[in-house]
Amino acid sequence: MINKFRIYAVCGSGVATSTLLANRLKTGLEKEGIVSFVIMECSIRDLERFVQNSRPDFIIYTTPLDALDLKDIKIFSGLPILMNKDTALLYKEIASYLKTRESRFILK
């Protein structure tokens, strides 16, 4: 299966927090019916390089991204997922956003 969506999970070091965020996001998106995606974990330090090499559908973060030029890429705060608060609403919001992007896969 080809992964339709590319997601970057970003934290300060790109290790523990981004892994936790990615795992919980995966579960939440699958419950929303989104199953064709890949989540790349990275540090804020590596994010700009990742974006230059492969533009994601969105970025979910736990550390401020204000200083980075993200080229109008959609971003979501991952703090609700880490705090396990209002996650259902966030997963629905992300799933809805991804469904609007699905049209780019339909051949005309």
Of the candidates 24, 32, 105, the residue with the CA atom closest to the CA atom of residue 60: 24
Domain ranges of the chain: 7-101
Bridge partner list, 75: 59
13, 77, 97, 57 alpha-carbon torsion, rounded to 10°: -20
Q: The whole model's pTM is what?
A: 0.88
Tell me 105's DSSP state.
G
CA 38 to chain centre: 9
What is the CATH T-level fold of the domain 7-101, as seen in this structure? Answer: Rossmann fold (3.40.50)
Could you list the pLDDT tens digit for every one of the 108 residues in the chain?
A: 456 899 999 998 877 999 999 999 999 999 999 999 999 999 999 998 899 889 999 999 999 888 787 878 999 999 999 999 999 999 999 999 999 887 665 544
Q: For 40, list phi and psi in degrees, rounded to 5.
A: -100, 130
